Amino acid sequence: MKWLALVVFGAGIVAGAAYYLSRVGSEKNSVLEAPPAWVIAAQSSESAHPAQVIARKQDHIQASGGQASVELKAPAAAESTNTKLDIAAVRQAVDALTSPAVGYAQKRAVWKKLKENGGLEQAIHELEQRVSSDSNSAENVAVLGHAYIQKCGTISDVREQGILAMQADKLFDTALNLDPSNWEARFTKAVALSYWPPNMGKGEEVLQQFTTLIQQQETQPPQPEFAESYVWLGEQYQKAGRNADAQSVWERGAFLFPGNDSLKGKLASLR
């Protein structure tokens, strides 16, 4: 039974995180922040090694609101047999992931590039070192948990996924104890809990986590990803047969985020 719960939780947190990562930031009216400094080109001379070029900023961002691309490069095969990213590139990527000043949509792009360029394990190692040296940093702890979730999506062993997912959940709890307003930690934890089977009795905790998240959001400047909390809380109410509460939450979200297509769709489905 313990092993089964581990697998269920692992599958849930992976599915939830994957669904969220594919959904957040997709709204047409989302406004992306200017790229952080580490995204800008770092090459200072023609002789610079390719691994020193951490990222290049596009000459301009497309008029449709597209985000500047981020390119992490490993050393050329002809020059080195080591395919790992330059440690400076990894550290700067981790700096971006743990920075409150970097937007969530941009962080998603950084995670994607790290995975594409084989830098995820290095990033995890860097984060583990940072947490070890400073266990009081809620951002470092939360991002390490997120890194474990990212790793879950790259492996197929369900037991290993479950172990990583449980470790991630503990890290989210630690991050929330350090900083109860850490959005990423609370959101990802709530999404993961929502995938537990009904007989595991997590429904009320899921509702409470999303309710707390929304209460915290509404005291802060709005961010595009905040709309998802209303979508998910309404879905949990609907799952519990509380359709009036679901409608109320979605209406509140649509009022605050009128350009969010998911909220529009939820309200349209009630008509």
Asked if residue 114 has pLDDT above 60, the reply is yes
pLDDT at 14: 57
Q: How many domains does the chain have?
A: 1
Check residue 197 and give its pLDDT: 81
Whether residue 251 is contained in a domain is answered as: no
Higher pLDDT, 242 or 81: 242
Confidence at residue 182, expressed as pLDDT on a 0 to 100 scale:
94
Confidence of residue 33 (pLDDT cuts 50, 70, 90): very low
Is residue 157 in some structural domain?
Answer: yes
Burial of 147 (0-12, 13-18, 19+ CB in 10 A): buried
* pLDDT recorded at residue 199: 82
Exposure letters 64-98 (e unless 16+ CB within 10 A, then b):
eeebbebbbbbbeeeeeeeebbbeebbbbbbbbbb
Q: Residue for token digits 């999303």?
A: 210
- Residue 123's pLDDT band (boundaries 50, 70, 90)? very high
pLDDT tens-digit series, residues 85-104: 788 999 999 999 999 888 88
In the chain, the percentage of residues whose pLDDT exceeds 90 is: 53
Are 175 and 145 in contact by the 8 Å Cβ rule? The answer is yes
Query: Residue 145: how many CA atoms within 13 Å on its side-chain side?
Result: 30
When pLDDT is cut at 50, 70 and 90, the band that residue 8 belongs to is low
- Identify whether 267 is part of a domain: no
The pLDDT-based confidence of 73 (bands split at 50, 70, 90) is: very low
pLDDT at 17: 52
Sign of CA dihedral 194, 200, 201, 205: negative
| Four-residue CA torsion sign, 131, 133, 137, 139 | negative
Q: What is the CATH number of the domain that holds 105?
A: 1.25.40.10
Quick one: average pLDDT of 231-240? 96
Asked if residue 215 belongs to a domain, the reply is no
Does residue 224 fall inside a structural domain? no
For residue 22, give both structure tokens: 């594919």
Select from 108, 98, 32 the least CA-distant residue to 70.
Answer: 108
Q: What is the pLDDT of residue 31?
A: 28
DSSP state string for 167-191: HHHHHHHHHHHH-TT-HHHHHHHHH
**Measured distance CA(148)–CA(136) in Å, rounded:** 19
> Which position has the higher pLDDT, 201 or 138?
138
The pLDDT, as a whole number, for residue 95 is 95
Using CB atoms within 10 Å of the CB of residue 191, give its burial: 0 to 12 exposed, 13 to 18 middle, 19+ buried: buried
Print the domain residue range for 63: 2-196
Alpha carbon distance 106, 260 (integer Å): 19
Report whether pLDDT(30) > 90: no
262 in a domain, yes or no? Answer: no
153 — pLDDT class (breaks 50, 70, 90): confident
Tell me, what's the pLDDT at 104? 81
Q: Minimum mean pLDDT among 23-27, 48-52, 64-68, 266-270: which range?
A: 48-52
- How buried is residue 31: exposed, middle or buried, by Cβ count under 10 Å (0-12/13-18/19+)? exposed
Average pLDDT over the chain, rounded to an integer: 76
Q: Report CA torsion sign: 133, 135, 136, 139.
A: positive
Task: Name the most confidently modeled range: 71-75, 164-168, 242-246.
Answer: 242-246
What separation, in Å, do the N-terminal and C-terminal C-alpha atoms of the chain show?
A: 42
For residues 165 and 17, the answer to whether their CB atoms sit within 8 Å is no
Amino acid at 31: V
Indicate whether 230 belongs to any domain: no
Q: Residue 244 falls within a domain, yes or no?
A: no
Query: CA 258, CA 255: separation in Å to the nearest integer?
Result: 6
Provide the greatest CA pair distance for the chain: 65
Q: Out of 81-95, 98-112, 237-251, which region has the weakest mean confidence (pLDDT)? A: 81-95
